Structure 1
């Protein structure tokens, strides 16, 4: 009969170990809860809170109202329910952050892997990265939006045209940090024993990259992805705040800030609500990124 003291404990799975380390980070848990609540509110809220339909005359009488039971967040300059517009704007802002992040991560990972693995591509691709880093981001985005907004809108419509142009412009100008991080990881990984062994038996470069390199750069890429979401939301808010983002009838949190700017001194809640939503979202995403960085590092979680 086996002594209980000699029984070897079952090893903890990697996913469970990552979660155990992640939940010890109070800021990351706070960010996950807040971001989850915001996502649920903006996704489900519009189906539960349906603003009453008002005539033009009634809407004009109700413009710039303060918070009340009828309008929990007040009304805007056209008498529209701010709560309904905040939830709709949240959908668009979060969608912009996720899609722009996806573009930046895919492009940055591709550049980083190619530069890190193939020595002859390292110099040209890193100089391209340095060139993009040297470009002033906001002026470049303003030029792109002003040049191509009308052309894209004439093809796929003003709303979808603005969305496609803005997320592509943000994504294509935000990949540089991911590329640098991935390149550094690949330079280390390609000298590991298992990569050298795969190369020695004649494995093709694309197979080595897909089977051995990419699975081991997922951790830093995930951390970079959380930061890119926050960066994309802030960048879109800046564009909308400058009046070069989405059309007025296609609200985002940045657009609501821009619309409420001229009423800020008389009706400060018009800028408080969208500004608070942007701040909470960005803060939550940054905290989640910090928690993922600690949880995905084997040295920190004691392995």
Structure 2
């Protein structure tokens, strides 16, 4: 990782009593985030997360006391993080404005979504850095799409765990979290050996009635392969893309994985999707619908995050169950 000019942290002039004291040992962290070099001369104590994935990453590492703000839930917070989440101030229902962000006086800003750093949101990361507020962005959604790896995998997630744990000087927590998730990966890999490559379609939502499915360039593709199955839309070069119900019917997958969104729009919940699939004269004839081989997974877990391992585990368990019922 390249060394860069030192960034002076705002934590030197403000630190809440509830947050841990800054690290005075002289320890520093240097890393690159989506092409932007960052240097940390002190452990941040006033972090702001801009969306759910970043928030839950911080909470999974036990860093709630280092947070002074959060925003933009797309799904229900995982139960294991709910208590800690309630202690963090919510700055905005969606992305905060630049003014709302600066009002929280952060010394670190973090998002897994590039859209958080748009001019009409909190502003560009380079601008924040110039204001001495380093901003970290996940490698799965860089501002420059060409910087994003086509293969979304758990190694990227683990690298991000390591980065955040390094920034906050809790490397041991990061190592423990990765070790726990690697155990799940080992279990899934073992279970996959007994499966016969069933075809799966991931359905996220619909736009004007057209289904949005997972293609071959994202984490769902990786999870499909790890779990011992095949993506029926692996010929589509996209993470998520629009298709038609006729196309899904022609491919007639053996299993449907349905995103369970809790934002409240019609058709968002997995149950809404199941009811629609069963009621439609075309989709009701799909093998997965006839045989009730449909798997509900929280939408948050389908994007790269600390919770993606749960999606993989849910998919693997369902495939093993379906295989046993044959």
Q: What TM-score, normalized by structure 2, do the two folds share?
A: 0.22
- As a proportion of its length, which structure holds more strand? 2
Task: Please state which structure has a larger fraction of its residues in helix.
Answer: 1
Task: Please report the TM-score for the alignment, with normalisation by the length of structure 1.
Answer: 0.24
In terms of Rg, which structure is larger? 1
